[in-house]
């Protein structure tokens, strides 16, 4: 009994220490986080110069759509995690299914963004309207490029998973792609309150 207890515990602590996926992908993720960190510092800096303008302009953003997109990305991250769990349990059919769900939510994010941008353009608001909208469009567009890139990565994973590539013995590629997708999610978790909520 004690043997049975210690064995999984030590395995768990080992996996907790290990970076998921290709360890070097964390170099890219760290660099990306630093880059967006720089964007956020620039945003807060420029906001301090024109607080009233930023607060007033922020009111025209559609918070409901922002919340929906947040839920989309959070759910898709959960789907990717579940896909990895399925691969570890050798439930090979479930892996592409959860990845497809994650891809659909990624596409859903893009569709919502399309409607959000169209509404802004229809109201005569664009990139050049004022400093707030400079940042709003620039940061969300750069993030959107990451969502598109991440969705392409998920499609590659999905296609591999359909061929049965990922199983208990091989989750490395899946974890590498998933780590990138979680980063895209994380960036939005910062972006959403900064742009839509910060008063």
Q: Which of 100, 138, 186, 194 binds other proteins (CB under 8 A)?
A: 138
Provide, rounded to whole angstroms, the least separation between the CB of residue 44 and other proteins. Answer: 12
CA dihedral 48, 41, 129, 52 (to 10 degrees): -20
Query: Which residues are CB-neighbours of 166 under 8 A, at least 6 positions away?
Result: 87, 92, 95, 157, 160, 173, 174
Of these, 7, 71, 123, 127, which contacts other proteins (CB under 8 A)? 127
Q: Is residue 35 within the footprint of other proteins (CB under 8 A)?
A: yes
Binding part of the chain for other proteins, among 17-25, 96-104, 151-159, 164-172 by CB under 8 A, reads: 17-25
Between CA 137 and CA 119 the distance in angstroms is 13
Residue 143 CB neighbour total at 10 angstroms = 21
Q: Is 131 in the site for other proteins (CB under 8 A)?
A: yes
List the one residue from 128, 163, 169, 199 that touches other proteins (CB under 8 A).
Answer: 128
CA distances from 136 to 130, 188, 195 (A): 10, 12, 7
Residue 117 is a binding residue for other proteins (CB under 8 A): no
Chosen residue from 13, 24, 115, 198 binding other proteins by CB under 8 A: 24
**Distance from C-alpha of 69 to C-alpha of 7, rounded to nearest angstrom:** 41
Considering only 142, 155, 186, 194, the residue that binds other proteins (CB under 8 A) is 142
């Amino acid at each position: 009994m004690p043997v049975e207890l210690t064995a999984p515990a030590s395995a768990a602590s080992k996996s907790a220490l290990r970076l998921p996926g290709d360890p070097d992908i964390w170099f890219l993720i760290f660099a990306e986080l630093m880059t967006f960190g720089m964007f956020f510092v620039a945003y807060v800096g420029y906001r301090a110069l024109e607080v009233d303008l930023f607060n007033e302009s922020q009111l025209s953003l559609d918070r409901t759509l922002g919340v929906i997109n947040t839920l989309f990305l959070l759910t898709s991250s959960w789907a990717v995690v579940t896909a990895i769990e399925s691969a570890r349990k050798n439930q090979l059919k479930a892996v592409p299914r959860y990845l497809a769900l994650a891809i659909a939510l990624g596409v859903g994010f893009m569709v919502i963004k399309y409607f959000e941008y169209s509404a802004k353009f229809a109201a005569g608001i664009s990139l050049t309207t004022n400093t707030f909208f400079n940042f709003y469009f620039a940061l969300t567009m750069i993030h959107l490029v990451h969502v598109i890139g991440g969705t392409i990565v998920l499609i590659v994973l999905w296609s591999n998973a359909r061929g049965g590539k990922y199983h208990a013995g091989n989750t490395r590629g899946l974890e590498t792609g998933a780590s990138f997708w979680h980063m895209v999610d994380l960036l939005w978790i910062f972006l959403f309150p900064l742009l839509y909520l910060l008063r």
